[in-house]
Amino acid sequence: MERTATNQDFQKRHNRALVLQTIRQRGAVSRVDLAHALGLKKSSVTNIVGELIKAGVVQEMEGTTARHGSGRRPVPLMLRSDVAHILGVELQAGRYDAVVMDMKGSVVWRHRGDFVGGERDFRRVCIDVLAFAQKQAERAGFPISAISVGMPGYIDSRRGRVIYSEPHDLCDFDFAEQVATLFDVPIAVENDANCGAWGELELAKGGAVSDFLFLLGEFQRPVASGRGVPGFSVGFGLVLRGMVYTGSSHSAGDFKSLFWKAGNQSQVGIPDERMHAIHNDPAGFRDYLVELLQNLSPLVSVLDPSFIVLGGDLAELQSEIAELIEQDLKGSYLASRATGAFFSPARHGTRAVAAGAAGRLVEEVFTGIWRYGNASEPQLSWEALVDFGDQVWAGGATVVGPARAGG
């Protein structure tokens, strides 16, 4: 039976979240330092820490209990990275990439593979890929607590619905009902470029995050249906004031070039026939990058990002992009901004989407408390992962798929 959240319920979770955030940010911190940093009573911090240790979320650092002077030396606390493992999966037409991330944001397992027929039966293939990746990860010693999927398209992540995905030939697909309900762990789904942006945010671990653009670019293989973006695709993740902006209809970041013409399957003005062969056409790919950068210049002018993160296959092209800006965009606004470290590769490189998908849920676990009661409610919480011995507040998070208690 659901119960109404009380002020005491909220305050308890609020203080727990503050303690976890601080331990996460500092790496190792004592109970005394936590009380001072957060302005909480020492008894309150002691109770919260005791609860976290009992639940297996936090541990005391070994070898730190020696006496100091006449008193007991404060014992540093640290987050247990293995308390939960999140499986992040990038699902593109004909291929997938999977990683497992621990609660400290480290990727501890990786796997890639291909599949056939995804565009003809997305549901069946998606279920098979997720089940296989989960099984392989758990065989490797990483029990999965939640799964997060990144894929191209307009996606309402809060409702677990794929509004539209051309590469997967989907329109108004209920991912939550058709896929997530078949698994025994919570499952989330999000746009691939947005996942990359979330991954960069998660790696900031609660620090000050500037506005930035995440630019995802990946080579695409032909699919049997003939649908999808030929050759190479690009998408943007927009981070504004530390949050990923998805737009009023979940299509923010969708890219169409200024030179795009009606009838083009690709996102740019280069003819589709040439785009289909871009893997083996260095001159064609160079033209593609120049056109992309030409479009990027006004975006940078309007949005004024602090920096741009390159993800997917673009993560390995930082020097080539710098060279093209110097040669072909000399005198442009982008050239005036692209100095120093304005462009940087994603920290997870070509695995930015899979790692970002997992990182998004890690971020939700640590920061979701702040979003209770508004339109950006979290999909995953500590209560869904760990048994704290109290009732779960049912008035907050919307978990896509059934939650599984336990570490």
pLDDT tens per residue, range 120-175: 689 999 999 999 999 999 999 999 999 999 999 999 998 999 999 988 889 999 99
pLDDT tens per residue, range 73-94: 788 999 898 999 999 999 998 8
Supply the pLDDT for residue 76: 92
Q: Which residues of 83-116 are buried (b: 16+ CB within 10 A; e: fewer)?
A: bbbbbbbbbbbbbbbbbbbbbbbebbbebeeebe
Residues 71 and 115 placed together within one structural domain of the fold: no
| pLDDT of 7 higher than 80 | no
Residue among 230, 212, 234 at smallest CA distance from 222: 230
Q: Which of 317, 332, 347 is the last residue of a domain?
A: 347
Domain that holds residue 370: 82-195+352-385
Question: Is 108 inside a domain boundary?
Answer: yes
Residues 247 and 121 placed together within one structural domain of the fold: no
Residues 339 and 238 placed together within one structural domain of the fold: yes
Residues 116 and 191 placed together within one structural domain of the fold: yes
Q: What's the CA gap between 296 and 217, in Å, rounded? A: 13
Residues 118 and 65 placed together within one structural domain of the fold: no
**Burial class of 76 by CB neighbour count within 10 A (0 to 12, 13 to 18, 19+):** middle
Residues 108 and 69 placed together within one structural domain of the fold: no
Residue among 398, 359, 362, 394 at smallest CA distance from 378: 398
* Residue where the block lists tokens 């869904």: 384
Residues 173 and 108 placed together within one structural domain of the fold: yes
Question: Is 399 inside a domain boundary?
Answer: no
Supply the pLDDT for residue 365: 84
In the chain, the number of structural domains is 3
Question: Is 1 inside a domain boundary?
Answer: no
Residues 157 and 228 placed together within one structural domain of the fold: no
Residues 71 and 87 placed together within one structural domain of the fold: no
Residue 164: which CATH number? 3.30.420.40
- Number of other residues whose CB lies within 10 A of the CB of residue 184: 10
Instruction: Grade residue 55 by pLDDT with cuts at 50, 70 and 90.
Output: confident
The mean pLDDT value for 38-60 works out to: 91
Supply the pLDDT for residue 401: 39
Residue 21: which CATH number? 1.10.10.10
Is the model more confident about 221 or about 38?
38
pLDDT-wise least confident of 227-231, 248-252, 356-360, 400-404? 400-404
Per-residue 3-state assignment (H helix, E strand, C coil) for the chain: CCCCCCHHHHHHHHHHHHHHHHHHHHCCECHHHHHHHHCCCHHHHHHHHHHHHHCCCEEECCCCCCEECCEECCCCEEECHHHCEEEEEEEECCEEEEEEEECCCCEEEEEEEECCCCCCCHHHHHHHHHHHHHHHHHHCCCCCCEEEEEECCEEECCCCEEEEECCCCEEEEEHHHHCHHHCCCCEEEEEHHHHHHHHHHHHHCCCCCCCEEEEEEEECCCCCCCCCCCCEEEEEEEEECCEEECCCCCCCCECCCCCCCCCCCCCCCCCHHHHHCHHHCHHHHHHHHHHHHHHHHHHHHHHCCCEEEEEEHHHHCHHHHHHHHHHHCCCCHHHHHCCCCCEEECCCHHHHHHHHHHHHHHHHHHHHHHHCCCCCCCCCCHHHHCCCCCCCCCCCCCCCCCCCCCC
Supply the pLDDT for residue 390: 52
Residues 274 and 358 placed together within one structural domain of the fold: no
Question: Is 117 inside a domain boundary?
Answer: yes
- 170 phi/psi in degrees, rounded to 5: -120, 145
| pLDDT of 60 higher than 70 | yes
| pLDDT of 61 higher than 90 | no
Q: Which of 292, 318, 347 is the last residue of a domain?
A: 347
Supply the pLDDT for residue 120: 60
Q: Which of 79, 103, 121 is the last residue of a domain?
A: 79
Supply the pLDDT for residue 65: 52
pLDDT tens per residue, range 300-347: 999 999 999 999 999 999 999 999 999 999 999 999 999 888 999 999
Residue among 190, 199, 308 at smallest CA distance from 250: 190
Question: Is 405 inside a domain boundary?
Answer: no
Residues 235 and 334 placed together within one structural domain of the fold: yes
Question: Is 40 inside a domain boundary?
Answer: yes
pLDDT tens per residue, range 190-223: 999 999 998 887 655 445 567 899 999 999 876 5
Question: Is 397 inside a domain boundary?
Answer: no
Residues 166 and 111 placed together within one structural domain of the fold: yes
Question: Is 145 inside a domain boundary?
Answer: yes
Supply the pLDDT for residue 382: 80
